Structure 1
């Protein structure tokens, strides 16, 4: 599938990305108290400030940033008991989704796959948990690991910068 000329909505309509990504979360909130579904939160999560204002101006109610942060901060082991972080991501399901999307982009699965492992700095501003000064990048940062095959993202891991760039990979 060729998506370079398509917008986010068109891609979502073709492959059901938002529904599939939302299915990677478990929502332990009280259904009667939910204003924004997990799918709505996932859809809003990638909107920049300017786009969020435009969506709001169109009459689309948006979740507060504290609600959106719950997508990222909820932990599976505590989501049933934590009052504020009741949405938990299943990281294994997200990994499977990225690989499934990669495989679905081919008519038949490729015979060989070349993996490109990239670690890059994600500079921090403030006293975030896990911050670490990285001498190479000369800043406090995280050092996420990304695994690509061509243009396809297959895996992403947020890591602290006190690790070697190749940490988590195998020969």
Structure 2
């Protein structure tokens, strides 16, 4: 998320635009993408774009996402994250089956993301599509949007370095 002035600097009050880049991978949680984007667009001053893997498109219709979609091979999203300006907030919302969530590699990877300063919006427990009952479902759209609003509203926006 990056602030961008949308009015001339000479204007008495400068409306700032904030950019949100949503990354979505080939998980059943991608079904929530159209709703998430729609709810984010309801936040005044927010512009949204989506980076999606081709596999993610199996779970939603690109025509239902009213913003620019950038898609490529699965590894593209990791490149975006590696190039991320770490002074800007980055949230991640895990989604996987319970066995994957409980695996020690996942614990290690989530810990590493947090060590980079990225903010986890934790998964929730429920009956998953695979039939598992337990942790692994992506956080509810409302929870994600509330976290974005919280950061967006802090001191009129995000840190600037």
Structures share a fold, TM > 0.5? no
Q: Which structure ranks higher in relative contact order (CA pairs < 8 Å, sequence separation ≥ 6)?
A: 2
TM range (shorter): under 0.3
Larger CA Rg, structure 1 vs 2: 1
**TM-score by structure 2 length?**
0.27
